[in-house]
């Protein structure tokens, strides 16, 4: 799990940089009249950074297998963090162009990130 989180964190950070380049290249002219769409993109961009940094930190400091419910909870939380990154990347490209306030993918991904991080707390010594 440690290697998977570390690699997912690196890939997520690379995706963060890629989405930043995408915004720098296409935003100045494309969304000059719609500031709300720019804010939707930027919010998903920052959420991607949050999830990738959490994955990186957890990948660096994974305590290893621990017996009992705490170890299982930490493992489940790691899987939740791994699942959050592709959902956030999909949300970045799918939700903002619609311009609607309904952001189901973003909500799901942020919830996965929160639950994945919170699941790590009982396993700490």
Q: Where are the domains of the chain?
A: 2-123
Who contacts 10 (Cβ-Cβ below 8 Å, separation ≥6)? Answer: 52, 56
Give residue 18's pLDDT: 92
Who contacts 103 (Cβ-Cβ below 8 Å, separation ≥6)? Answer: 40, 91, 95
Give residue 65's pLDDT: 62
Give residue 125's pLDDT: 60
**Could you read off the pLDDT of 25-71 as tens digits, one per residue?**
877 665 666 777 777 788 888 999 999 999 998 888 876 667 788 88
Give residue 64's pLDDT: 65
């Amino acid at each position: 799990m440690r290697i998977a989180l570390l690699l997912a964190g690196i890939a997520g950070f690379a995706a963060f940089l890629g989405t930043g380049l995408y915004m720098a290249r296409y935003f100045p002219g494309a969304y000059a009249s719609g500031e709300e769409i720019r804010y939707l993109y930027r919010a998903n961009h920052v959420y991607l950074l949050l999830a990738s940094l959490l994955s990186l930190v957890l990948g660096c400091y994974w305590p290893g297998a621990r017996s009992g419910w705490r170890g299982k909870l930490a493992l489940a939380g790691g899987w939740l963090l791994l699942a959050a990154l592709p959902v956030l990347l999909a949300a970045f490209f799918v939700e903002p162009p619609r311009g609607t306030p309904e952001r189901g993918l973003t909500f799901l991904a942020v919830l996965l990130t929160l639950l994945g991080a919170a699941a790590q707390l009982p396993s700490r010594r």
